Amino acid sequence: MAIELSYVLITPYTIQKSRTGGIIARLLSRTDLELTGAKIFAPSQEFTDNYSDIIKGTNDNTCSQEALNLLSDYVKENFAPHKGRYQRVIMLLFRGENATKILTEVVGHIKPEIRTGETIRDTYSDYVPNRDGSVRYFEPAVITAPNIPGTDAFRKEMLFLANYLDSTPNIIDLPLLLTEDDSNKRTLVIIKPDNWRYPSSRPGNIIDMLSRTGLRIVGCKLYRMSLDEALEFYGPVKNALREKLAPKIGIKAKEIIEKELKIKLQENDNEVLTNSVGIRFADDQFSQIVEFMSGLRPGQVPEWQSSDPGKVKCMVLIYQGENAVNKIRDVLGPTDPTKAPGGTIRREFGTDVMVNTAHASDSFENAKREMTIIKADRNIIGGIIKDFYK
């Protein structure tokens, strides 16, 4: 089977109801496809009209024209800005064999005859008919690619999305429906590489737990942190590790030497061991953090490759709202998962101080610094699609 790129759009209502995490969990754990891109955007009126027409004009025998019209009308009514307020839509881009069919099966039918909870729409969508067969209420929860893969229509659909995503910012600055502008109240979350080693529901479950904060997601992307970025991002940690670990290792080294060699060292020998063995140990811990986040070991990568994308994947999320930093960190829990209280993300999914599931900024100032380093305002999802169709 041919490798395909396909997508799922999470609808504005689904995002508002904080169901995003649950849907992502199902998509990742039930498809075995590679998630290659993610972006949240605020559709314009022009985008809404064009995408609605694409759905209505689909020539796919597996979906009735009645269902396509229903979906097209839903997009036109619910994606467009209203009275100066914009909606949020999340696009998830998947790659793999038979990707479109697999996503369609996991998402489920627009009008399910029997709801078993097996598909995403079984659980999250609503289709309520009147007795005469007309539709009283319809909410699809998510939308998949309507056209048939390999056709010219499918290619045009994908490139239409790519061009629009390239033309929109990666962090929404537009006023959102029923919200106030608090763009100065943002914080950064990174779902770390340990959650992406194999297909699982963990990334979605983490997002679901973060939804307790009541904050809004206004930016997201899949990202591979370069070695240079990881060194700069975690730069402040290096001195902190030296101050915290080096003296302890110096004392421990002194005790081991005295015990093994049966000699008594002088007090100033402890300082010598701290500045040699202790510092080296602390720096090695720092290198492990950098390697964990980038997949690249400092000192083992040619300088001309240090700015290239790293070997491991993470997800960048920008949350916005009142007291965003503290709310996120409360749900995330302490750095050490063994000391985190029950019900926190790190207690649930973390392993140790380094493999602790997610990073969250500790202040608005650091959030701005960290977002600048990882270029949170940029997203290559449109470029991925265009490169695929070259």
**pLDDT value of position 182:** 57
User: Does residue 150 or residue 157 have the better pLDDT?
Assistant: 157
In this predicted structure, what is the pLDDT of residue 268?
A: 82
Q: What is the pLDDT of residue 239?
A: 92
- Cβ atoms 229, 305 nearer than 8 A: no
pLDDT at 183: 54
Assess whether pLDDT exceeds 80 at residue 325.
yes
- Statement: residue 112 has pLDDT above 80: no
Report the pLDDT averaged over residues 25-41. Answer: 96
* pLDDT above 70 for 346: yes
User: What's the pLDDT score for residue 358?
Assistant: 96
The per-residue pLDDT for range 43-82, each reduced to its tens digit, is 999 999 999 999 988 866 567 788 889 999 999 999 999 8
At 184 the pLDDT is 62
Work out the average pLDDT over 253-260.
88
Q: Which of 319, 359, 371, 376 is catalytic?
A: 359
What percentage of the chain carries pLDDT values higher than 70?
Answer: 96
Task: Name the residue with higher pLDDT: 43 or 265.
Answer: 43
Q: Which architecture characterizes domain 3-189+218-223+378-388 according to CATH?
A: 2-Layer Sandwich (3.30)
Averaged pLDDT of the chain: 91
Sign of CA dihedral 292, 296, 300, 302: negative
Model confidence at 353, pLDDT cuts 50, 70, 90, reads: confident
Q: Which of 173-187, 312-326, 332-346 has the lowest mean pLDDT?
A: 173-187
Predicted confidence at residue 150, as pLDDT, reads 85
In this predicted structure, the answer to whether residue 9 has a pLDDT above a threshold of 90 is yes
Over the stretch 208-226, which tens digit does the pLDDT of each residue have?
999 999 999 999 999 999 9
- 56 compared with 27, residue with greater pLDDT: 27
Q: Where along the chain do its domains lie?
A: 3-189+218-223+378-388, 229-305
**β-bridge mates for residue 188, sequence order:** 318
Q: Is the pLDDT of residue 88 over 80?
A: yes
- pLDDT confidence band for 139 (50 / 70 / 90): very high
Q: Span 319-347, mean pLDDT?
A: 93
pLDDT at 53 (0 to 100)? 94
Confidence of residue 164 (pLDDT cuts 50, 70, 90): very high
**178-187 tens-digit pLDDT:** 455 555 689 9
Please report, for residues 19, 68, 205, 272, 304, the alpha-carbon distance to residue 13 in angstroms, rounded to integers and kept in the order given: 9, 19, 19, 62, 46
> Could you confirm whether 109 is annotated as catalytic?
no
d(CA 340, CA 132): 55
Structure tokens at 351: 């392993």
Verdict on whether the full-model pTM lies above 0.95: no
Q: 3-class DSSP state for residue 245? A: helix
